[in-house]
Amino acid sequence: MFIAPGFEQRSTTTHLGAIAYAAPQPEFWPVATQPDQTLLFLHGFGGGSSSYEWSQVYPAFATDYRVLAPDLPGWGRSDHLEQAYTIQDYEDAIIKILQALAPQGAVIVASALTAAITVRVAVNHPELIQRLILVTPAGLSDFGKDFRQGLLPQVLQIPWLDKVLYQTAIATAAGIQRFLTERQFANADLVTPEMVAAYLKSATQPNAEYAALSFVRGDLCFDLAEWIPQLTIPTVMLWGQAAQFTEVALGERLAALNSQAIKHFEVINNVGLTPQLEQPGPTTALIRKALDILDSCESALTMSNVSDR
């Protein structure tokens, strides 16, 4: 919910309502060296998720790229509809965001389940995505290991109980603090009061439970292994070494499905599911490295095409 200094909130409209996004304030930043190149940062899902997740990283790229960081539908400052959300909803939302804000195509930096959904968008609409940098992408039903078989998703299928648990156990300062320290970070000492406050602000927006419960129930899960082999967009995967639910072995197995598109796979040591929050400095450096790798691949492809003529 908190926007990085030098950025402002803007919005665009989709079938799922208004989408809020952070963009550089023109009077604060010099003209980017690559103003026609959009770098779109997409947050993952969880109680209180929002573009805040990337707020310590995306300012580092504002002098080089046109940087945008949206709150996806049902999260952060974007509209929260009173409905269960589906995978198709988020695919369509990402497509609409790209069509509205970067019709020429964008480089997407995405996290967790959103990163997995972005792979689906890249397969179905490759014209909208130039390159992908995916941080711990997982569909949470990968290779037949289904998140929905766990106790919590099963409990949250019970009508009325889901909202009670959301209000008493998830959308509270204690619940968010517990999730960040025990599940999301490798080093609990790095969780700050600002992080808890930002997640809590997002989690307690009116109707915030609809998107959050769609995620926690497992409504958005799918098998990413079925989509990776279809990917043609040049991609780099970064994986938190201590990520819970999605171990490094899963990432290595996914990357091995398509060595043609996945140009590089790198493990980030001593971080959990969101290295962009836990270790923003090293994560920023690795994203720059990923951009260099993808630029090199593109240059090599261009030279190959020229020589073939």
Given a cut of 90, whether residue 305 has pLDDT beyond it is no
DSSP string covering 23-81: EE-TTTSPPPSEEEEEEEEE---STT--GGGGTTTGGGGTTTEEEEEEPPTTSTTS---
**Between these two residues, 163 and 234, which has the higher pLDDT value?**
234
Helical (H) or strand (E) element with 263: strand 262-268
Q: Above 80 in pLDDT, residue 304?
A: no
* Structural domain contains residue 226: yes
Pairwise pLDDT comparison (217 vs 57), residue with the higher score: 57
Q: CA 282, CA 266: separation in Å to the nearest integer?
A: 12
Share of the chain above pLDDT 90, in %: 79
Q: What is the pLDDT of residues 92-122, one digit of tens each?
A: 999 999 999 999 999 999 999 999 999 999 9
Residue 306, pLDDT score: 39
Q: Cα angle vertex 224, ends 218, 230, to 5°? A: 150
User: DSSP code of 220?
Assistant: T
209 or 155, which is more confident: 209
- Tell whether 42 is covered by a domain: yes
Number of independent structural domains in the chain:
1
Whether 1 maps to a domain, the answer reads no
Strands of 235-240's sheet, edge to edge?
Answer: 7-14, 17-24, 65-70, 34-42, 106-111, 129-135, 235-240, 262-268
What pLDDT sits at residue 307?
A: 47
Indicate whether 115 belongs to any domain.
yes
This prediction has a pTM of 0.94
pLDDT, tens digit, 9 for 90 and up, residues 279-289: 999 999 999 99
- pLDDT value, residue 150: 60
Instruction: Give yes or no for residue 18 having a pLDDT over 90.
Output: yes
Task: Please state the rounded mean pLDDT for residues 222-246.
Answer: 96
Backbone angles phi, psi at 117, to 5 degrees: -65, -35
Higher-confidence residue of 300 and 75: namely 75
Would you say residue 119 lies in a domain?
Answer: yes
pLDDT at 166 (0 to 100) = 86
Tell me, what CATH number does 171's domain have? Answer: 3.40.50.1820
Q: pLDDT by residue (tens digit) across 150-197?
A: 655 555 566 767 787 888 888 999 999 999 999 899 999 999 999 999
C-beta of residue 134 within 8 angstroms of C-beta of residue 119: yes
**d(C-alpha 132, C-alpha 298), whole Å:** 13
Instruction: Give the H or E element holding residue 286.
Output: helix 280-308
Tens of pLDDT, residue by residue over 124-151, are 999 999 999 999 999 999 998 766 566 5
Q: Does 2 reside within a domain? A: no
Do the domain assignments include residue 265?
A: yes
| Residue 193, domain extent | 7-308
Q: What is the mean pLDDT of the chain?
A: 91
For 26-39, what is each residue's pLDDT tens digit? 888 888 889 899 99
Does the residue 18 lie in any domain?
Answer: yes
